[in-house]
Amino acid sequence: MGISPNFTETSCLHEADYIPCYISNMRGEHVEALETTVRSLDERLNALANLVNELMVNVSLIREQVEEVTLNLGGLINQVNYVNTAVSELQSQSVQSTTAIDALTGQLLSVTTTLADVQAELSLLTAPIEAVREQLTALIGTTATIDTDAGTITGEIVTVGTDFVQVQEPSGAVVLIPLSNINLVDAA
**148 or 96, which is more confident?**
148
Residue 146 exposed, middle or buried by CB count within 10 Å (0-12, 13-18, 19+):
buried
Does this model's pTM top 0.95? My answer is no
- Among 9-13, 63-67, 103-107, 173-177, top mean pLDDT goes to 173-177
Confidence of residue 24 (pLDDT cuts 50, 70, 90): low
Which residue(s) pair with 153 in the sheet? Answer: 146
C-alpha 5, offset from chain centre: 46
Helix H or strand E segment including 41: helix 18-90
- The residue extents of the domains of the chain are 9-14+17-135, 139-187
Assigned architecture for domain 139-187? Roll (2.30)
Indicate if the pLDDT at residue 131 is higher than 60: yes
Q: What number is the average pLDDT over the span 103-130?
A: 88
pLDDT tens column, 26-79: 666 677 777 888 888 889 888 888 888 888 888 888 888 888 877 887 787 888
Angle at 78 between CA 100 and CA 71, to 5 degrees: 115
101 or 92: whose pLDDT is higher? 101
Distances in Å between the alpha carbon of 138 and those of 50, 54, 86, 170, 177?
A: 29, 29, 55, 20, 17
The chain-wide mean pLDDT, for the chain, equals: 82
- Identity of the amino acid at 32: E
Q: What is the pLDDT of residue 1?
A: 44
More confident residue, 135 or 15: 135
- Mean pLDDT of the 155-165 span: 96
pLDDT at 181 over 50: yes
Better pLDDT: 127 or 153: 153
- pLDDT of the residue at 2: 47
- Number of neighbours of residue 140 by Cβ within 10 angstroms: 14
Residue 86: is its pLDDT beyond 50?
A: yes
| Confidence (pLDDT) at 3 | 45
